[in-house]
Structure 1
Amino acid sequence: MSNSIGIVLDKRRIKTNEKYPLKLRVRLDGNEVEMYSTIYDLSEEDYNKLSAPRISDSLKEIKQRIKEIETDSRKFISDYGDITFQEFERDFIKDNPHFKKRRTTTRPEASEEEEDWLNPYRKRFKILKEPHPGTDYISYTFQKYIKQLLAEGRIGSALNYQDAYYSLKRFRGNVQFETITVSYLHQYERMMIDIKGRSKTTVGIKLRSLRSVFNEAIEDKIIKGDKCYPFGKRKYKIPTSRNIKKALDISEVQSIYEFKPENEFDRKARDYWLFSYLCNGLNPKDFAYLKYRNIDEDYIIFTRAKTERETRNDPKLITAYITEDMHRIINEWGNKDRNPNSYIFPVLVPGEDLLKQHMRVCSLAKFICDGMKNVVKALGIKKKAGNAECRHTTATTLKRSGATTEFIQEILGHHNKNTTENYLDSFENDVKKQFAKKLTQFK
């Protein structure tokens, strides 16, 4: 078989802006030819400049992109073997961000068994429809790993991996693992921070997902780690940035506690926030999943959903004393059906699938944040008082009251003490300031 591939300027039909489309010209088996329109258009003058030693930055970018298109398409056809245009369009051109949409062959349907269990997720997880030019393209392992997360019921993690994939796809497309070099990652980081205005924390989340996908591909023998793994010592280091939450001081908590919201929305959100604060800094997911069976006389005993998998063989139970205020909040806002299997609060609906449960938890978190914005604004408090600040405030208040790190680790449900110590670091500066003043208290 004799195949040839190249980018050409199709001058058969000029556009209104006096530009022509750049197309990928593919010849298969020595005689058949097809043209595929890329997303790039150039004037004849600019097209001729591509081979010049000095060109503008915008032309350099297009030159690099079309070079990548040619390289990727050649490798794809070579790896595929005996390929037809129909197969090339279906598996390489379709949904490739560098090409304009065109009518292509429908991808084979999934098996009935796969179709059944994935059906509830298809609308929310568009990655399940992603085509794969080859198994060594990132879409293949991202999709495979996301299916695994969905099968395990880890909806939040699956959404994070999907977000990471589409962030990378918007940057350079669905590329092969070997394309992702140290330089690629540095360019992605600069694009996210300098152009998109994203934080280092966001970049870290996306690239930790990518690193896990690399490890999966190595485990599946799709790639060889020693040849193209870009992470690690003397390679690319994923950025870290501690997102410090401003804990409320006890006087601000008192103001929130004593505040009388005028509407039911803010009153309910404030009470949910107070319950979480009093219940060991409970996060929204654990709040939503609390059932009456978790109540044992004067205590609520539960395990954190976030660490359930890691502690399955040695479950870490969290115990919170039910204060008088917590009893009031349960009586006012809780479900009246106190069957042991009933949820304490009317957030989740029994029998709903995991995706719907996840969305309800997200709605709960937003509900509390929105209500608390109104509360702190009315009180003149300048700090945020969302769900993360609630948990941080619980830990801060206990620390300033003399609680040990070990005690705080236990009530927060941290599996590792280092996590708690890192968590506590951010609110020690004011204490240092107070003690610094004592050094010259004689003044």
Structure 2
Amino acid sequence: MAKKQVIRPTAYILLDKRRVRKDGKKPVRLVVKHQGEMYIWGLNLYLTDIDYRHTQATTITSKLPEDKRKELFSAKTIIEDAIKKARNILLEMGDFSKEAFSKKMFDKNQDTLFTALEAQYKKMVKEGRAGNASSYLCTLNALRLFRGGEKKREGHRVTTIGGKDIPLKDINVQFLKSFEKWFLKEGKSATSIGIYLRNVRVIMNEALSDGKITTTPFGKGKYSIPHAADRKLALTLEDVGKIQFADLSTEPALEKYRDYWIFMYYSGGMNVKDMARLKFKDITVDEISYERAKTSYKKRGQNITIPLTIEAARVIDKWGNKGYNPENYVFPILKHGIDPMKERRTVVDETAKINRAIKKIATTLDIEGSISTYTARHSFATIMKRSGVPFAAISDFMGHSDTKTTENYLAGFEKKAKVEQWANLIPKKNAD
């Protein structure tokens, strides 16, 4: 006798056109269909027909005003998160029941690892911290796979679904060791597992602080997060000179990304995201003053003021946007009005292009080691240290430890003193 085919419940989103508010908006519903029955829940989200169609597109059109795009991006995130969560719950469930599904879907007091990571991811997205959001999402996806989940292609996107969730109170040293062992066996890096487990540690520490759990597996004598082996990241002043003065006039693409790298080096080890976000209003004749993207979500972000060297100014003149509108971006990397996740993807792509170019240039120049955008940052720090700037100040300035020390130290730097310190970064053109 042939086995009876099991028909699993399905979840989808619809705009309920039976209910129309005075402003023309209609409620967005989550629907689960099972054995001919339809179960419907509201998402506390209301959209017009046109706005709903926008949320169903792959990306929100850039033709809309920025405020409208942000509103639609938020709605799109709510919808996508709801349908993904619903489908994951249905995969995890045995026999379907409306009550059990509803509790897992909407009970905010579910103290489980997947739920906590999802909440942290949404929080980061809401705050515009795309890098952190991506990190928590990657952590969640890795743990789903570890717990029996699978990857699923939806059009051009690959998502991770399923996996058995685990209560926070059940996470112990053995669980973390098993996850680490599995992850490394999959050929992943110690750097990545370190990032993911630090994210789990944040979740556990918050749960401990909130009284949701009574102990944590992290800490002295418990689980120790693995660290990647230290890498030699800094170049000598001579090697920086080789890169800066290499004749790349016949290869404009390489020249452009080399010059971006040089700009970051001369701009205090600025990262690609901060460089991409620079606006002309951040630059005067002799200074660059900007707020780090890494801290911009805080009420008091970290403002940095550094000298604008001749070398950095040349890069702006050569590759920067024209017109000098104060609100325009300095470099043609980002476009106005894009959402934080699109901004992150653009920055990641640009970083990859710079890294590929600088590695190729370094190989041609017989410079050893893995050269990247990080190398510009660490070379700045190392060369400044060798020039006599106190190690603690430079280390903090680069974000290696307590940033308050850096802020306090640099606050005492007069403009003239900063310019003198920056002069130590310039290599001799005739260096062999």
* Corresponding residue to 1:288 among 276, 279, 298: 276
Q: What SS does the corresponding residue of 1:358 show, helix, strand or coil?
A: helix
1:353 aligns with 2:328: no
1:306 aligns with 2:294: yes
Question: Which residue of structure 2 aligns with residue 254 of structure 1?
Answer: 241
Summarize the Cα distance change of 1:185–1:13 in structure 2 as closer, same or farther, 3 Å threshold: farther
Q: What SS does the corresponding residue of 1:112 show, helix, strand or coil?
A: strand
Q: Which of structures 1 and 2 has the larger relative contact order (alpha carbons within 8 angstroms, sep 6+)?
A: 2
Summarize the Cα distance change of 1:164–1:419 in structure 2 as closer, same or farther, 3 Å threshold: farther
User: Contact 2:396/2:402 (CA < 8 Å) preserved in 1?
Assistant: no
5+ long unaligned stretches in structure 2: 9-31, 48-54, 56-71, 90-100, 105-109, 148-162, 407-432
Question: Which residue of structure 2 aligns with residue 225 of structure 1?
Answer: 214
5+ long unaligned stretches in structure 1: 1-11, 15-20, 24-33, 37-89, 95-101, 421-443
Normalization by structure 2: what TM-score?
Answer: 0.66
* Cα deviation code 1:162-216 (max 9, x no counterpart): 11011111112232224432211111111122x1233332212111112222344
- How far did 1:378 drift? 1.7
User: Contact 2:288/2:305 (CA < 8 Å) preserved in 1?
Assistant: yes
* Corresponding residue to 2:135 among 157, 160, 163: 160
Summarize the Cα distance change of 1:268–1:389 in structure 2 as closer, same or farther, 3 Å threshold: same
Distance 2:188 2:36 in 1: 36
Distance 2:309 2:40 in 1: 58
Summarize the Cα distance change of 1:403–1:215 in structure 2 as closer, same or farther, 3 Å threshold: closer
1:199 aligns with 2:189: yes
Distance 1:245 1:273 in 2: 18
Summarize the Cα distance change of 1:367–1:293 in structure 2 as closer, same or farther, 3 Å threshold: same
Question: Which residue of structure 2 aligns with residue 212 of structure 1?
Answer: 202
1:180 aligns with 2:135: no
* Cα deviation code 1:235-268 (max 9, x no counterpart): 3222233542421111111111111123111000
User: Contact 1:372/1:386 (CA < 8 Å) preserved in 2?
Assistant: yes
User: Contact 1:302/1:318 (CA < 8 Å) preserved in 2?
Assistant: yes
Summarize the Cα distance change of 1:349–1:104 in structure 2 as closer, same or farther, 3 Å threshold: farther
Summarize the Cα distance change of 1:145–1:220 in structure 2 as closer, same or farther, 3 Å threshold: farther
Counterpart AA for 2:316: I
- How far did 1:156 drift? 1.0
Counterpart AA for 1:166: N
User: Contact 1:273/1:368 (CA < 8 Å) preserved in 2?
Assistant: yes
Normalization by structure 1: what TM-score?
Answer: 0.65
Q: What SS does the corresponding residue of 1:225 show, helix, strand or coil?
A: coil
User: Contact 2:117/2:136 (CA < 8 Å) preserved in 1?
Assistant: yes
User: Contact 2:190/2:228 (CA < 8 Å) preserved in 1?
Assistant: yes
Q: What SS does the corresponding residue of 2:43 show, helix, strand or coil?
A: coil
Percent identical pairs in the alignment equals 31
- How far did 1:104 drift? 9.9
Distance 1:157 1:127 in 2: 20
User: Contact 1:138/1:174 (CA < 8 Å) preserved in 2?
Assistant: no
Distance 2:386 2:119 in 1: 46
Counterpart AA for 2:227: T
Question: Which residue of structure 2 aligns with residue 130 of structure 1?
Answer: 85
- Name the larger-Rg structure: 1
Which stretch shifts more, 107-116 or 324-333? Answer: 107-116
User: Contact 2:334/2:346 (CA < 8 Å) preserved in 1?
Assistant: yes
Question: Which residue of structure 2 aligns with residue 72 of structure 1?
Answer: none
